[in-house]
Amino acid sequence: MKVMTSSAALALRTLATRGVRLGLETVTGVVIARTLQPEGRGVYAVISTAAFAAVVVGHLSLEKSQIALWEDRSRHPALATNGLVLGLVLGSLSALGALGIVALTGAQGGLALWALALSVVPLGAASVNLNGIMTLQSRMDVVNRKSLLAALARCLPILALAALGHLTLAGVVACWALSIALPFVLVAGGMRPIRLRVDRTLARRQLGLSGRYHVGWVALYLIVTIDVPLLSALDSPAAVGIYTVAVTIMTLTRIPCETIAQIALPKQASCDVEEAKHVTVRALRLMLLVSSGFVVVLVAASPWMIPLVYGDSFAGSVAPLLALAPGTVALMLVRAVEQHLVRLERPSTMTAVSVGVLCANVLLNLVLIPRWGAVGAAVASTVTYVVLAALEITRFVRLTGLPVRALVPGRAEVHSVVMPLLAVASGNARHAPRHPAAHRPNSYSE
């Protein structure tokens, strides 16, 4: 009873943090859009997307090895140290490589802005690694504070600059860099005491294991971001600005789904494989239910919400948003499945799936963007997201021996989502269920 109550309280705190962050990021996005207009927002989106891609490349999917090696408690301190040091070193190499590519190919907005954004890549890579350690330790309160600090570090300076009439593209990029740097300080401080001596034997094992997943992980990240630079190259920065507003609104669905995934991760990593698969199934059911509900609400509200909030110049974002809707629901399911498949150590298959879907995504974008612009990019994304989710779920079902109907939300999931909302609405939280969907029978007969 206490364990379930504690888990529910943790989930509520995490959701509350993400809700506050959502509010801050929404305000920030609206101010940026109204100030920079579609073209300026598009250039900013290309820079920030590419810089975070360098973070993804630089952290070398080290969290995959953390999940795989977490069962042995004696490794925990060394895994934390390795995450910090390897993140800083590999992140620096990734940033330098990205800066070289930008210098050779040309930089929208100027090389100085790219250098500023890429300067925080090492901190971002190390922060991702340490964030993974804290999640595995179930230290979600620290993770939540880090998440909130990132939003505040970007939102407050942007609001101040906008109020003074001095908000520019350079200022927005600088605030983005600050939102990467400050959370690193918090999460690194939260890991104290931490040794700076790398366990080289463990590091080699981590790099060998993570390296097998990394190509697939980078491909997975590019599946959801490659459309931004392609749209910029094949259409215009203004089209990117229109498209990224639709993407930003649809990513609101990630807030509850990532909360579910983070709460499930410690059990997925530490339980035996048999129990972990049932934890994964319960997470998938809740994700499917919650993401579908969020997407329906966003689709219904978007025709009047986007022009009202972002301005008439972004009214063109409605059509891409509608095209992204089905793919968004599918994409939300991938993370929980991937977290379980890492336990089964089949990196070659995971990599092949991600790379294959990425190639399909690029080809579809090359065909559809010249014809339909931002809507073409959205259609390409939805098609590939659905294919990716279908392939990963098919693998999960085959490897676990569970029936497909086990993934369909039932009464328990509906009850666990609806009742807390009714309790909050009525101001009587004691009516919220203490036993969420975790108690649904494993027979999956409903």
User: Among 402, 255, 279, which residue's Cα sits nearest to residue 332?
Assistant: 255
Burial state string for 22-46 with b = 16 or more CB within 10 A and e = fewer than 16:
bebbbebbbbbbbbbebbbbbbbbb
Whole-angstrom CA distances from 5 to 2, 99, 279, 435 are 5, 48, 17, 8
Report the distance separating Cα 424 and Cα 218, nearest Å: 40
pLDDT below 70 — which residues of the chain?
1-8, 10-11, 193, 268-270, 343-347, 410-446
Per-residue pLDDT at 10:
66
Q: Which two tokens stand for residue 90?
A: 């590999």
Tens digit of pLDDT for each residue in 183-215?
898 888 877 767 778 888 999 999 888 887 788
Beta carbons of 61 and 214 less than 8 angstroms apart = yes
Tens digit of pLDDT for each residue in 119-164?
999 999 999 999 888 888 878 778 888 889 999 999 999 999 999 9
Report the distance separating Cα 291 and Cα 287, nearest Å: 6
Beta carbons of 444 and 278 less than 8 angstroms apart = no
Report the distance separating Cα 34 and Cα 38, nearest Å: 8
